[in-house]
């Protein structure tokens, strides 16, 4: 009998709960990512009205801001009606964002006839706002676009136009 009691007491002591326990808790984690938007305006580079006596180039150097056309050789070429650099307005939902600009190597402009009469505008990246551009605290920025127009000797008098694409993207 005494043995039974001793065994029972020992069993109770051995199986006394320790009081420690473990539990798992599953915490939900979430986040919403909005992609920043980027809007840009179209623009026109206008070399104005040019009176020329031979081959020459006209440059709009907008690398430091808005600019007007300047003939390389003023003794040959005169700008009778001033043109201007183009202006692209950039708007982002991301203040102070940095955007890269990719300019075309050249744009061929023609007189909109079937004849192969054209001129070339090149060095656009040289004479435009350098890339990249840091937008301001409101998420806006301005890109000035210039270039170099090459006029052949005997260039047909006419109105020349065309379009090119300038890409603006987040860096």
Partner 1 sequence: MVQRHKHSVVLIWVALILFYRPCCHVLALTVDSIRPLSFGTIIADPSRHETIEIDARFGPAGTIKTSAGVSVLSTPGSSGIIRVSSGLPFSCTLIFPAGANLTKGGDNMVVDRFSMLSETSGSSPGGVLDLNIGGRLNIQRRQAGGSYSGSAVIMLNIE
Minimum distance of partner 1 from residue 92's CB (angstroms): 9
Of residues 3, 14, 18, 105, which one binds partner 1 by CB under 8 A?
A: 18
Binding partner 1 (rule: CB under 8 A), the pick from 55, 66, 76, 98 is 98
Site for partner 1 (CB under 8 A): which residue of 14, 27, 105, 157?
A: 27
154: contact with partner 1 by CB under 8 A:
no
Place of tokens 């600009």: 101
Q: Is residue 7 close enough to count as binding partner 1 by CB under 8 A?
A: no
Burial class (CB in 10 A: 0-12, 13-18, 19+), 16: exposed
Asked if residue 3 binds partner 1 (CB under 8 A), the reply is: no
* Count of C-beta atoms within a 10 Å radius of residue 118: 14
CB of 23 to partner 1, least distance (A): 4
* Per-residue exposure over 44-63, b if at least 16 CB sit within 10 Å of its own CB, e if not: ebebeebebeeebbbbbbbe
Q: Which stretch binds partner 1 (CB under 8 A): 16-24, 55-63, 107-115, 159-167?
A: 16-24
Containing H/E element for 11? helix 2-14
Which residues lie below 8 Å from residue 136, measured CB to CB, with a gap of 6+? Answer: 95, 96
**Using CB under 8 A as the criterion, which residues of the chain lie in contact with partner 1 when the complex forms?**
1, 4-5, 8-9, 12, 16-36, 93-98, 170-171
């Amino acid at each position: 009998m005494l043995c039974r009691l001793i065994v029972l007491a020992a069993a109770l002591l051995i199986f006394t709960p320790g009081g420690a326990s473990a539990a798992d808790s599953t915490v939900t984690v979430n986040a919403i990512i909005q992609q920043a938007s980027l809007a840009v305006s179209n623009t026109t580079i206008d070399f104005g009205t040019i009176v020329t006596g031979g081959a020459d180039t006209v440059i709009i150097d907008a690398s430091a801001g808005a600019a007007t056309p300047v003939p390389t050789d003023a003794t040959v070429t005169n700008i009778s009606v001033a043109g201007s650099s183009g202006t692209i307005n950039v708007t982002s939902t991301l203040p102070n964002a940095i955007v890269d600009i990719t300019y075309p190597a050249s744009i061929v402009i023609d007189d909109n006839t079937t004849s192969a009469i054209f001129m070339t505008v090149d060095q656009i990246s040289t004479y435009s706002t350098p890339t990249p551009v840091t937008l301001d605290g409101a998420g806006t920025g301005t890109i000035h676009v210039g270039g170099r127009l090459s006029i052949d000797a005997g260039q047909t008098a006419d109105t020349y136009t065309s379009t090119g694409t300038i890409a603006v993207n987040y860096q």
